[in-house]
Structure 1
């Protein structure tokens, strides 16, 4: 049975871990979106490092989700804080999507979602510092300064 948190036409997943500096970007974007009035068909999920588990649940035939928006840090060697909209085809260029901390590649589930007919978009932010395994809570200034624009990008994606 599918969890109620996944029973939306559009799902926005904030990925990452708040205890590893800029890896908390996804959480921060979701936190801002939670304070807004969004359409009733939009669900917000602070997925942390568990996005593969949520995405597995979406493979249920009773799933009504038509669009998935992933919000996460990326490493494309861009200036820190740079935002980039990525498609499913860009996933192979993102190391953490090939193997995450739990050895469950997120990209496999996103590709399955796309093949099941869901629209998949990634709102990525170039990280400046990810401290794994050392703990550092809080975003760098560059990534923190990109949060408002990241929220705007998600809101634009919701209306497409």
Structure 2
């Protein structure tokens, strides 16, 4: 491949720490996506339980994906369990200067995307053309295993949101039909 050509690959990554209650939202959502009939996922879709391994996720993205969907908690001040979709766009922000060492166990999606940008600049690779975050408003991120009831109820709708994004991405990148000659 040359230039900005990217493979027809999509990565859906669940981010979060399952030992901090609602922070396990992204991981649980991706687990449920993996339990679906595989025919419901577009060809070329890969699922990843990224957990708290943000650096691993950033390096995996250097393998080349057209679309990245991150699933994680997003605090925006709404009621617990509220879902949102954020279109990050084609160019993840650069991390720039980091005060002190990078904490690889406390990387939010913005930090992962910024690290990806920095790695791309230094090591090459192809950045995703599309980056989305499917986020959920948390209720409790204290120590403990298991999602709070409002966040648990948001997992299946989040699965539907991810499937909708994947379908839209496939439609947007489908080749134009070739006119038939009579």
**How far did residue 148 of structure 1 move?**
1.1
Q: Which runs of 4+ in 1 moved over 4 A?
A: 110-113
1:35-87 Cα offsets, whole Å, 9 max, x none, are 11223310000000113322223225xx2x10000000011111000000012
Runs (5+) with no aligned partner, structure 1? 1-6, 93-98
Residue number in structure 2 paired with 1:47: 50
Residue number in structure 2 paired with 1:153: 161
Change beyond 3 A, Cα 1:14–1:102: same
Larger Rg: 2
TM-score, normalised with respect to structure 2:
0.68
CA RMSD after TM alignment: 2.6
Runs (5+) with no aligned partner, structure 2? 1-6, 94-101, 121-125, 169-182
- What is the number of equivalent residue pairs in this alignment? 140
* 1:142 aligned counterpart, secondary structure: helix
Residue number in structure 2 paired with 1:119: 130
Contact 1:8–1:43 (CA under 8 A) maintained in structure 2? no
TM-score, normalised with respect to structure 1:
0.77
Residue number in structure 2 paired with 1:30: 30
Change beyond 3 A, Cα 1:68–1:100: farther
Residue number in structure 1 paired with 2:112: 106
Contact 1:51–1:106 (CA under 8 A) maintained in structure 2? yes
Contact 2:42–2:167 (CA under 8 A) maintained in structure 1? no
